[in-house]
Amino acid sequence: MSDVITKAQVITWLENCAALLETQKAYLTELDAAIGDGDHGLNMARGFGKVKEKLPSMADASIGSILNTSGMALISSVGGASGPLYGTFFMRASTAVQARQELEPMDLVKLMEQGIEGVVQRGRAEVGEKTMLDALIPALNALKSQLEAGAGLSDALDACVAAAEAGVRSTIPLVAKKGRASYLGERSVGHQDPGATSATLILGLLRDVVKGSGVS
């Protein structure tokens, strides 16, 4: 494995997201039924289904343009909170990489930093409020600290995904402070956050594709 992420890998990753979110639709929807309105799986599957439809026309586009188009597809096809938030993540992430045809490891850090900044600006949530940020922010921190300590991309992505998985588990005892789950207050305790779960699935697929174990 070389320490770059190619455009072909980015496209495969997004295709795999569409496929996995389709198969995990019922699971994510079940998580959302416990503390929300039971549509997170449907939202993610529909949104990434639209992203997948755009990919064939993007073969000659830059990575930034692919991410931007994906973000716009998510925003325009998903009505729930997650559509605008994930859409903003991808659109803001695109500004970090722009016309690039491949990404260095630290580009991935910049991409995630920008994407997360967009989610924070749009949703005004912080770590500990039982949202997707409880997976995304520890994942970014682990990726960045591993790379800065000299780890290769593969090991850094393993640490990134492990941190996201720990982040998802950390949402279970939390009281939701943002989004629909916050209407439940204390009754949201004991349930895993759907958005943190989908974010972790998406990061896991990135790791698999970069390590060459993802379906192409």
Interface residues with ligand ADP (CB under 6 A) are 32, 36-37, 39-40, 43, 80-82, 85, 119, 123-125, 131-133, 178-180, 193-196
Whole-angstrom distance, CA of residue 161 vs CA of residue 199? 10
- CB-wise, 3 or 37, nearer to Mg ion? 37
Rounded least distance, CB 56 to ligand ADP, Å: 26
Residues that bind Mg ion (CB under 5 A): 32, 36-37, 39-40, 80
**Nearer of residues 16 and 82 to ligand ADP, judged by Cβ:** 82
Choose from ligand ADP, Mg ion, none: what does 143 bind? Cβ within 5-8 Å by kind: none
- The smaller minimum CB distance to ligand ADP, of residues 35 and 61, is found at 35
Distance CA 109, CA 151 (A): 13
Beta strands 102-103; 5-6: pairing state: antiparallel
Dist CA 168 CA 68 (whole Å): 26
Closest to Mg ion by CB, 12 or 24: 24
Closest by CA to 21, choosing from 69, 106, 82, is 82
Of Mg ion, ligand ADP, none, which one sits near residue 208, judging by CB under 5 to 8 A according to partner kind? none
Residue whose structure tokens are 């990135």: 206
Q: How far is CA 188 from CA 9, 35, 123, 194, in A?
A: 37, 6, 19, 12
Least separation in angstroms between residue 106's CB and ligand ADP is 25
